[in-house]
Amino acid sequence: MSNLGENRKPAVKPDGVSRASTPAPSESVTESLPRGIRIAGAWSWRLLALVAIIVVAVLAIVELRLIVIPILIAILIASLVMPLQNLLRRWQVPRVLATIITLLVTIAVVVGLFYLAITQISAQSGEVKDRAVEGYQSLREWLKVSPLHLDDTQINEYLGQLWNIIKENNKAIWTGALSVGSTVGHVAAGALLTIFSLLFFLLDGPGIWRWVVRLMPRNARAAIDGAGRDGWRALANYSRTQMLVAAMDAVGIAAGAAILGVPMAIPIGVLVFLGAFIPFVGAILTGTIAVFLALVYNGPWQALGMLIIIVGIQQLEGHVFQPILMGNAVKLHPLAVVLVVTAGALVAGIPGALFAVPLAAVVNEMTRYIAGGRWRTPPAGDRSDGGDDGDDPAITDGADSESESREQGEDDAATVPSDGSATADASTEKTPGSDEPSER
C-alpha cells in the first residue's frame, strides 16, 4: 500500500498543469472587499476626478479673468435688458435696430449713474473740504474728552508716527499707484469687451447657444439644451430681482444720508446700488462709507444714526426682501448664498463674490433639470412657457428657426458617407424585433 501511495502521480489538468503545483483558486482582492467599500471606492475616485476638473476650470478662469469677467458681466446685463429688446420686437422693430436701441439705452443708464455721482462729488467738493477740516478739529477735541484722554502732544506724536509709516512705505505706495494705473487700462479694455459681447448676445444669442449645444454629443444635446433654458431663466430672474433689491437698498440708505445731512448722498446711493449686487455683504461694505463720512463731517451721533439706518435696511432686506423676492427667483437657502459668496470672494475676490450667487443659481437649476429627467419627456409648449421669449436663449423668430433647420440638415448630412455606403447600410437595416436584415 505504501508503494502505491508513493507511485501515485499527481492529477493533471486538461491544460497540462498539475493540481499539486497550483494553489486552490481564491477570490480576487476586489471581490474580497465588502460591497459597501467597493461602491464607496468607485464613487470616491469619480468624485476626485470631478473635483480636479472643477479646480482646473476655476484656475483657468482666474488666469483668464480679464476675458471671462467682461463676458460674464455682458451675460448678466443681457438677461436684464432682453425684455426691452423683446418689447421693441413686438412693436415690429427690426432685430438689428432693436438691438442697437437696447444697447444704447443700457449704456446711457450706466453712464448716467456715474455722471450723476461725479457731478455731485465735484459740486460738493468745496463744502466737503471745509467740513473735513471742521471734522478733523472736532475729532481732536473729542479725543481729548474721550476715555482715552489724549492731549495735543500725544495726538501730534501719533500723527507723526503715521507720517513716518507713510514715508517708509513710499515705494509700496508708488507701486500701488502704478498698479492702479494698470487696472484703469484693464477696466477700459474690459468695458469695450463687455459692450462688444453684449451686442452679439442681444443680436445673435440664440445662434450662439445653438452653436454651443452642437458641440456636445448628439445624445446629450436634448438634456443640455433643456438645462440651459432653465439655467437662463434662473439667471434672468436673479438679475431682475437683485436689481430691485439693490434699488431698495440704495434709495433707503441715500435717503437716510440726506435726512441726516451727510454729504454726497447721491454718490453714496449709486455706490450702494452697485455694491448690493453682492448679496448680504455688498450693501453693508458700501454703507460703511456713509458711516465714515457721517463721522468725519457730522460727528459721532450722526454716524451712529447712519449706522442704525444701514443695519435696519439690511434687516429688512434679510427678513423681507430676500425671502420673498430672492427665494422664489434663486431657490437657494440663505446659508448657501452666504457660503457661495464667501467662497467666491476667497477664490476670485470681488468678481468671485459678484458672480458666485448667479452661478450657483444656474448650476442648481441645470442640475435639478438633468437629475429630474425632464428632458426625456419635455412638456408641450416648453419653448414658450418660461415667460418672455427673451428669457430663453433658444427662442427665435422665423429666420432663426429656418437657420436652425438648415444647420440641423447640415449636421445630419455630415454623418452620411459620400461614397454611397449609406444606401447599402439602409438596405440591410434590421427591423425591430428581428435578427434578419430587411429590405427597404
Q: How many residues are recorded in the chain?
A: 440
Q: Tell me, what's the pLDDT at 20?
A: 46
Element (H, E) at 292: helix 282-297
- 64 φ/ψ angles, rounded to the nearest 5 degrees: -100, 30
Which residues share a beta bridge with 12? 18
Per-residue pLDDT of the chain (440 residues; tens, 9 = 90+): 444 444 555 444 444 444 444 444 445 666 777 888 888 888 998 999 989 998 888 888 878 888 888 898 899 999 889 889 889 989 988 989 999 999 999 999 888 888 888 887 777 777 777 777 777 777 777 777 777 777 778 777 877 777 777 666 665 555 544 444 456 677 788 889 989 999 999 988 888 999 999 999 988 888 899 999 888 988 888 888 888 888 888 888 889 888 888 888 888 888 888 888 776 677 777 888 888 888 877 777 888 888 898 888 878 876 777 666 666 666 777 777 778 888 888 887 778 888 888 888 898 888 888 888 877 775 554 443 333 444 444 433 433 444 444 444 544 444 444 444 333 344 444 444 444 444 43
E-assigned strand segments in 226-268 = none
Q: Tell me, what's the pLDDT at 423?
A: 39
Classify burial at 50, counting beta carbons within 10 Å of its beta carbon; exposed 0-12, middle 13-18, buried 19 or more.
Answer: exposed
Neighbours of 276 (CB within 10 A): 26
Span between the terminal Cα atoms of the chain, in Å: 77
Q: Which residues of 202-212 are buried (b: 16+ CB within 10 A; e: fewer)?
A: bbbbbbebbee
Q: Tell me, what's the pLDDT at 150?
A: 75
Instruction: Report the alpha-carbon distance of residue 8 to residue 21 in Å, rounded.
Output: 15
Place of cell 502505491: 4
Place of cell 477735541: 141
Instruction: Report the alpha-carbon distance of residue 307 to residue 274 in Å, rounded.
Output: 19
Neighbours of 162 (CB within 10 A): 9
Instruction: Report the alpha-carbon distance of residue 320 to residue 301 in Å, rounded.
Output: 28
Give just the sign of the alpha carbon dihedral 330, 333, 338, 340: negative
Instruction: Report the alpha-carbon distance of residue 276 to residue 358 in Å, rounded.
Output: 14
Instruction: Report the alpha-carbon distance of residue 80 to residue 66 in Å, rounded.
Output: 22
Inter-axis angle of helices 95-123 and 265-275, nearest 10: 130
Local structure of residue 430 (DSSP, 8 states): B
Q: Tell me, what's the pLDDT at 393?
A: 46
Inter-axis angle of helices 300-316 and 282-297, nearest 10: 160
Instruction: Report the alpha-carbon distance of residue 228 to residue 151 in Å, rounded.
Output: 66
Neighbours of 412 (CB within 10 A): 10
Residues contacting 346, CB < 8 A, separation 6+? 352
pTM check: above 0.75: no
Instruction: Report the alpha-carbon distance of residue 266 to residue 166 in Å, rounded.
Output: 32
CA atoms within a 13 Å half-sphere pointing along the CA-CB vector of 33: 10
Instruction: Report the alpha-carbon distance of residue 253 to residue 259 in Å, rounded.
Output: 10
Instruction: Report the alpha-carbon distance of residue 237 to residue 232 in Å, rounded.
Output: 9
Instruction: Report the alpha-carbon distance of residue 347 to residue 358 in Å, rounded.
Output: 16
Residue type, 249: D
Q: Tell me, what's the pLDDT at 406?
A: 46
Instruction: Report the alpha-carbon distance of residue 141 to residue 134 in Å, rounded.
Output: 11
Helix (H, G, I), strand (E, B) or coil at 147: coil
- 13 φ/ψ angles, rounded to the nearest 5 degrees: -70, 165
